[in-house]
Amino acid sequence: MSDGIPVLSLFSGAGGLDLAVERADAEPLVPSDPGTRLAHVAVATDYNSPALETLAKNFPRTHSINGDIRTLDSADLLGAANLKSGEPVLVVGGPPCTPFSKSGFWLEQKRESRDPNASLLDEYVRVVKDTRPEGFILENVQGLTYKTHKAQFDRLLKSMTELGYNPQWKVLLAADYGVPQLRRRVFVVGRRDGLAFEFPRPTHSGWSEHTRVFDTSLIPHVTAAQAFEGLESPATNDEYVAGRYGELASEVPPGGNYLWHTARNAGRDEFEWRSRYWTFLLRLDPNRPSSTLQAQPGPYVGPFHWENMRTPEGDQRARRLRVNELLRLMSFPDDFDVPDRKVDTQRQLGNAVPLELGKAVARALLTQLGYIRPVADTRARILVSN
C-alpha cells in the first residue's frame, strides 16, 4: 500500500475534499502540514475541465477523468484506479449543489425540486453500489435537507441504507472546526460494515446568524483578521468596487451591508429595508469569521474587505478580497495552485469544501474504520503502513 489507502473522488472540482482526505491525519489547523499521506485519491472525476486542471496541478499522483458522471461506467472508474470492486477504502464527493442552493430559488423548477441535476445524487449511489468502498463521504449545501428537496434526500438515504451503509447525516458549521468562515454544509457518511458513523465534535464555538448561545469552553471561532495575519500582497487597480455602489459600499462599516444605507441606519437613505439579499454590499468584520464565500457573486455581492482602497483618481472604494485571502478563508494552504484568472479562482474555491472542515470529517471516518489511532494530545498515529 505504498501509495496510501485508495480513494475514489466524484464531482471533485478543484479538490477541496480530496485534499482533506489526503491530509486527514495532518495536524488540525495547520494547513501547511501534508500529513503522512495515509490516503491517496487514486482517481478523480468531474465534468468541469478548468477545475480538473487545478486539481491536476495540486494532485500530480491522481488520475483524473473529465466527463459527465452519467456516462461514466463504474468499471472504467475502477480500472483507472487499478482497483476491483470492494477495494476502495473511500468514495468521496459533493454532487453539484446548484439544484439545492438557496441562490436559485427564484426558478420555479428549483423551488419545486425539479432540477434535472438532482439526479446526480443517484449517480453517486450507483458508484457506491458498484465499487463497494469501506465508507463514503457525501457533501452538499444545507438546502439539500430542506422540505423542498425531501423526496431526493429521502431517496438518497433509503438507497444507501439498502446497500447496508447505515448513512448518518448532519449539517456542520465550518467555523466550529477552525475555518474562518460561517459556512454550513450537510455531510452524509456511511460505513460498509453497517456501524453508525459518529460525527466529530466541534473544536471551536461562537455566535452566528442562527444563534447567540454557544459553548464558551471551546476555542473561539477564528476571525477574518486572524486568518489574514502575515499576508502581504500588492494592491491592484482592478480589485476595488467600482461605480455608485462601490462608493456606497466604502461607507458601510465592518460587518454591515446595504442596510446601513436605509432609513433605519446612519448611512444614506438609498434602499428600502430588506429589499436586497443580505450579502449585497456586505463587508467583512475583522473580529468575526467571514460569511460564506460564493462561487459566482455579482459585482456588488460581498463579502468585501473591511478596509477601503483608493482608485487612481484618489476616491475611496471598498475592495474585493485577494486570492491569498480567499485561500485563508477556506483554510487552504497558501501554496495551493489556483487559476490565473481571479474569477476562476473564486468559482473553484467557492464550490470547494473548506480544508479543515473536510479534514475533521475524513479523520473521524478513517479513525472509526481503524486506519488512524486517536491520540488526544498529539497527532493521530497511523495503524497501517504506507
Q: How far is Cα 101 from Cα 327, in angstroms, rounded to an integer?
A: 22
Task: Return the active site residues.
Answer: 97
Residues 279 and 127: their CA atoms lie apart, in Å, by 37
pLDDT value of residue 118: 57
Measured distance CA(179)–CA(354) in Å, rounded: 7
At residue 191, the 3 state secondary structure works out as strand
Question: CA 131, CA 201: separation in Å to the nearest integer?
Answer: 30
Cell numbers given for 280 = 449585497
Helices 49-58 & 342-350 angle (0-180, nearest 10): 80
22: Cβ contacts below 8 Å, ≥ 6 apart: 4, 7, 34, 35, 37, 39, 40, 41, 59
- Looking at residue 198, its amino acid is E
Cβ neighbours, 10 Å, residue 382 = 16
| Structural domains of the chain, with CATH | 5-220+341-382 (3.40.50.150), 234-321 (no CATH)
C-alpha cell at 117: 441535476
Mean pLDDT for each 10-residue chunk of the chain (386 residues)?
86 97 96 94 96 96 96 96 98 80 44 56 97 98 93 96 98 98 97 98 91 91 98 84 96 98 97 96 98 95 96 94 97 97 95 98 98 65 36
For the record, the C-alpha cell of 217 comes out as 469552553
pLDDT of residue 97: 62
Ramachandran bin of 157, using left for φ above 0, alpha for ψ from -120 to 50, beta for the remaining angles = alpha
Q: Say how far apart CA 158 and CA 155 lie, in whole Å.
A: 5
pLDDT at 2: 52
Q: What is the pLDDT of residue 384?
A: 38
> Distance (Å, rounded) from C-alpha 372 to C-alpha 378?
12
Q: Could you tell me the three cell numbers for 81? A: 484506479
The model carries a pTM of: 0.91
Closest CA to 333 of 10, 16, 8, 12: 16
**Do residues 57 and 44 touch, judged by C-beta distance below 8 A?**
no
Torsion sign, CA atoms 143, 148, 149, 154: positive
C-alpha dihedral sign at 198, 7, 143, 219: positive
Which residue type is seen at 98?
Answer: T
CB–CB of 261/269 below 8 Å? yes
The whole-number pLDDT of residue 99 equals 59
**What would the grid cell of residue 53 be?**
486542471
